[in-house]
Amino acid sequence: MFTIEKLSHPDLTIDHWQLSPNQHWCVLTQLGCGEQYLLDLFNGDLVDYQASNLTLPAQDKIAVLSFQALQNLYEVELKRDRSDELNTLDIGRRVRDFVPLSEPNLKLLELIGLSHKLDTGFRQLSTGESRKLMIIKAISDGAKLLICENPNDSLDKESRHKLALLFNQLMAQGIQVIYLINNREDIPTDCQHFAAMSQGRFEVLTDQLSQTTETIDQQIDHYFANQRAEVNWPNQRFPLDNYCHPNLAKLVDCTVRYGDKAVFERFNLTIKPLQHTLIQGKNGSGKSTALQLISGDCPQCFANDVTVFGYRRGSGETIWDIKKHIGMVSSDLHRSYRVRCNVLTVVISGFFDSIGVYQAVSQQHIDDAKQWLAIIGLAAHSQSLFHDLSHGQQRLVLIARALVKSPLMLLLDEPTQGLDETSRHLLLGFLEQLAAMKQTTILYVSHREDEHLPLFTQQLEMYWSSSNWIRVTEANRY
Ligand SMILES: Nc1ncnc2c1ncn2[C@@H]1O[C@H](COP(=O)(O)OP(=O)(O)OP(=O)(O)O)[C@@H](O)[C@H]1O
């Protein structure tokens, strides 16, 4: 299927890699390993390289299913948006416009749980839904080689299972898959061929003939060896002791509806100070929407009974009265962070809740932001362009942006999407420290069970009745 020999590029070196028919590979990656250059190679975007032999399939037979590809698609859709011209909401291309509705495709959409979304615009899909659509689109476009960057990220447990079944079906039909995996638990169980990337170097780990399974397991363990970083926490400037309201947020009988479809109805949630809350639920069940009601990013917060930091929404407060106390990380923020600026500026923008920085910046802001960059291991990248970093590194910068101002409330909506094991554990360590300091209340959305830390004293499961698509919720205290 392909051969790569003696490929050299300033940020990518591959001595030898051959993909034979019916082989599927798992490439282990970590943040900053140069994975994006490997993706560029398969995309046809890598320049300034030399190779003694490079035989890749035709470009239209390769599908790169990466976070960057998703972002590119989102930006294409944004450019096509004619809402202003038409003076009405242009939802852009719908799911049915990406995938011809042939019988096999309809079956795939059903299998992956997207068949009820045919008339939803791409930009309106939830994170998990949009990732699923990309996969089905690649298959229906006739791709023979799928390069999947962390395919489990953003998918709920059932969807991960269904995706594994789908990949098995595809492999039986001769489609080949290369997984790029940066968390040990995501390694596909039946993968036989392994490689790893470190500091821009691609290295084959397995050679079925000469290596034993045990050796491979040890190599994988070695690659994913975790270290918990000690965090020198900056001083907090908004101590919770001064907070005077009984609740940080209260949502009463909230309904969010798009067209004739309710995301949820009669949704109730109370967040008391230091009541760290874990929000779970299937893809599309309304987790992000619930957080957006609190942050003010969902316009329907005004039509609902939403009180945040003592402000009843719609009673004359500004969005900044709310946002100044919130640190947020979400896919929505990540994809909206499209301005051209350096990494330091992105972290500093957390002080102003802006995308980019448009105000005077103090030396204290700069020092705090630099301190955070050092904590997340990206100090050397402070002057790099944000968009030159890999998706996972960008996510880490956005986490620093959320933490830099020591907010009263942290809304973390799948913050670890794209993060490798080390960075995920770094974040989990931050959360434990924050909980111990008792100054910030954390709302956390995650599909990963190892992120469901004991510090979450309230757990919320969002689900819906399949008969009428009305979502209901349950809250339990441990
Ligand atoms: N502007 C919109 N117009 C129409 N539908 C929308 C809009 N925004 C969100 N939705 C729909 O609302 C549902 C809930 O979306 P939300 O992003 O809250 O889900 P989620 O639980 O966070 O999903 P995931 O786990 O995939 O991130 C989705 O099915 C989505 O398609």
Sign of the dihedral defined by the CA atoms of residues 205, 206, 211, 212, in that order? positive
Write down the pLDDT at residue 227.
54
113 lines ligand 1 (CB under 6 A): no
d(CA 330, CA 288): 8
Q: How far is CA 35 from CA 194, 202, 347, 391, in A?
A: 15, 9, 23, 10
Q: Is the CB of 125 under 6 A from ligand 1?
A: yes
Strand pairing category for 261-271 and 249-258: antiparallel
Report whether residue 280 contacts ligand 1, using a CB cutoff of 6 Å. Answer: no
Q: What is the pLDDT of residue 121?
A: 94
DSSP β-bridge partners for residue 195: 27, 204
Cβ–ligand 1 distance for 300 under 6 Å, the answer no
Q: Name residue 125's amino acid.
A: L
Whether the complex's predicted ipTM surpasses the cut of 0.85: yes
Per-residue model confidence (pLDDT) at position 469? 47
**3-state secondary structure labels for all residues of the chain:** CEEEEEEEECCEEEEEEEECCCCCEEEECCCCCCHHHHHHHHHCCCCCCECCEEECCCHHHEEEECHHHHHHHHHHHHHCCCHHHHCCCCCCCEHHHHCCCCHHHHHHHHHHCCHHHCCCEHHHCCHHHHHHHHHHHHHHCCCCEEEEECCCCCCCHHHHHHHHHHHHHHHHCCCEEEEEECCHHHCCCCCCEEEEEECCEEEECCCCCCCCHHHHHHHHHHHCCCCCCCCCCCCCCCCHHHCCCCCCEEEEEEEEEECCEEEEEEEEEEECCCCCEEEEECCCCCHHHHHHHHHCCCHHHCCCEEEECCEECCCCCCHHHHHCCEEEECHHHHHHCCCCCEHHHHHHHHHHCCCCCCCCCCHHHHHHHHHHHHHCCCHHHCCCEHHHCCHHHHHHHHHHHHHCCCCCEEEEECCCCCCCHHHHHHHHHHHHHHHHHCCCEEEEECCCHHHCCCCCCEEEEEEEECCCCEEEEEEEEC
Ligand 1 atom closest to Cα of 285? 21
Q: Which of 209, 154, 143 is nearest to 178 (CA)?
A: 143
CA distance 148 to 141: 16
The residue nearest atom 29 of ligand 1, judged by CA position, is 284
Residue nearest to atom 27 of ligand 1 (CA): 127
pLDDT score for 14: 97
Whole-number Å distance between alpha carbons of 110 and 415: 28
289 Cα nearest atom in ligand 1: 18
Decide whether any atom of ligand 1 lies within 6 Å of the 127 Cβ. yes
The span from the CA of 16 to the CA of 41, in Å, is: 14
Sign (positive or negative) of CA dihedral 469, 474, 475, 478:
negative
**Is the minimum distance from the CB of 287 to ligand 1 under 6 angstroms?**
yes
Crossing angle between the packed helical segments 103-112 and 127-140, to the nearest 10 degrees: 150
**Residue 200 Cα, ligand 1 centroid: separation in angstroms?**
36
Q: Over its length of 478 residues, how does the chain's per-residue pLDDT go in tens digits?
A: 899 999 999 999 999 999 999 899 999 999 989 999 999 999 999 999 999 999 999 999 999 999 999 999 999 998 888 877 777 888 899 999 999 999 999 999 999 989 999 999 999 999 999 999 999 999 999 999 999 999 999 999 999 999 999 999 999 999 999 999 999 999 998 788 999 999 999 999 986 556 666 688 888 888 887 555 566 666 655 556 667 788 999 999 999 998 888 898 888 999 999 999 999 999 999 999 999 999 999 989 889 999 999 998 877 778 888 999 999 999 999 999 999 999 999 999 999 999 999 999 999 999 999 999 998 889 999 999 999 999 999 999 999 999 998 899 999 999 999 999 888 988 898 899 888 888 899 999 999 999 999 999 999 998 865 554 455 555 554 3
CA distance 399 to 423: 11
What is the per-residue pLDDT for 217?
85
Common-topology check for domains 2-223 and 240-477 = yes
How many Cβ atoms from other residues are within 10 Å of residue 380's Cβ? 11
Q: Is 32 in the pocket of ligand 1 (CB under 6 A)?
A: no
Are the C-beta atoms of 166 and 196 separated by less than 8 Å? Answer: no
Give the residue, out of 126, 280, 469, with the most ligand 1 atoms within 8 A of its beta carbon, to mutate for a pocket test.
126
Q: Judge if the beta carbon of residue 283 lies within 6 A of ligand 1.
A: yes
pLDDT of residue 465: 58
Q: How far is the CA of 129 from the centre of ligand 1 (A)?
A: 8
Domain spans of the chain? 2-223, 240-477
**128 Cβ below 6 A of ligand 1:** yes
The tokens describing 473, both together, are: 């919720």
Q: Which among 340, 442, 345, 357 is positioned nearest to 400, based on CA atoms?
A: 345
In the reported structure, the alpha carbon of residue 95 is separated from the centroid of ligand 1 by a whole-number distance in angstroms of 14
Cα 276 off chain centre by: 21
Nearest CA to ligand 1 atom 7: 124
User: 292 in ligand 1 pocket by Cβ < 6 Å?
Assistant: no
Kindly give the distance from the C-alpha atom of residue 194 to the centroid of ligand 1, in angstroms, as a whole number.
Answer: 35
With tokens 């009988």, the residue in question is 253
* pLDDT, position 477: 42
Nearest-10 Cα torsion for 346, 348, 350, 356? -50
Domain 2-223 classification at class level: alpha beta
Is CATH 3.40.50.1240 the classification given to domain 240-477? no
For residues 299 and 238, the answer to whether their CB atoms sit within 8 Å is no
pLDDT at 276: 95
